[in-house]
């Protein structure tokens, strides 16, 4: 089957670094996405990995290991506005040759002053 696991909640201090882990099991893997979602709002795209390694984008970095079914999102220099849910989503090739997207339950990050 297809499954994505990520921690439910994390807390960190303003200015610190936090790593949010995601493990997945899927067939036909074709990319892993991280989204940020503030309460009551739509998800917004943060990063995308399809090959192993680290992708850096300003304060945000995302890492992927396909052999381990593992990814993490690294947030540096945390700001209060980073308090949000962070969603890990896996894209896989569906039966008709097009893509399906499976989302994790999200990790609710609280940034404390």
Partner 1 sequence: EPEVTQTPSHQVTQMGQEVILRCVPISNHLYFYWYRQILGQKVEFLVSFYNNEISEKSEIFDDQFSVERPDGSNFTLKIRSTKLEDSAMYFCASSEAWQVQETQYFGPGTRLLVL
Binding site for partner 1 (CB under 8 A): 33, 37, 41-45, 48, 50, 87, 89, 94-96, 98-106
Query: C-alpha angle with apex 72: 57 to 64, nearest 5 degrees?
Result: 85
21 versus 37: smaller Cβ distance to partner 1: 37
Enumerate helices (H) and strands (E) in the chain, giving the number of each. 0, 11
CB of 14 to partner 1, least distance (A): 26
Query: C-alpha angle with apex 51: 49 to 57, nearest 5 degrees?
Result: 40
User: CB-based contacts of 76: which residues, under 8 Å, 6+ apart?
Assistant: 17, 59, 60, 61
CB of 73 to partner 1, least distance (A): 16
35 versus 78: smaller Cβ distance to partner 1: 35
CB of 11 to partner 1, least distance (A): 19
69 versus 106: smaller Cβ distance to partner 1: 106
């Amino acid at each position: 089957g297809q499954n994505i696991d990520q921690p439910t909640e994390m807390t960190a201090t303003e200015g610190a670094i936090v790593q949010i882990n995601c493990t997945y099991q899927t067939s036909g893997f074709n990319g892993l996405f991280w989204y940020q979602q503030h309460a009551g709002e739509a998800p917004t795209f943060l990063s995308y990995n399809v090959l192993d390694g680290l992708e850096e984008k300003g304060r945000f970095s995302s890492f992927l290991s396909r052999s381990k079914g593992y990814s993490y999102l690294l947030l540096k220099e945390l700001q209060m506005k980073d308090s949000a849910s962070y969603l890990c989503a896996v894209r896989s090739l569906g039966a008709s040759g097009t893509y399906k997207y499976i989302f994790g339950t999200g990790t609710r990050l609280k940034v404390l002053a």
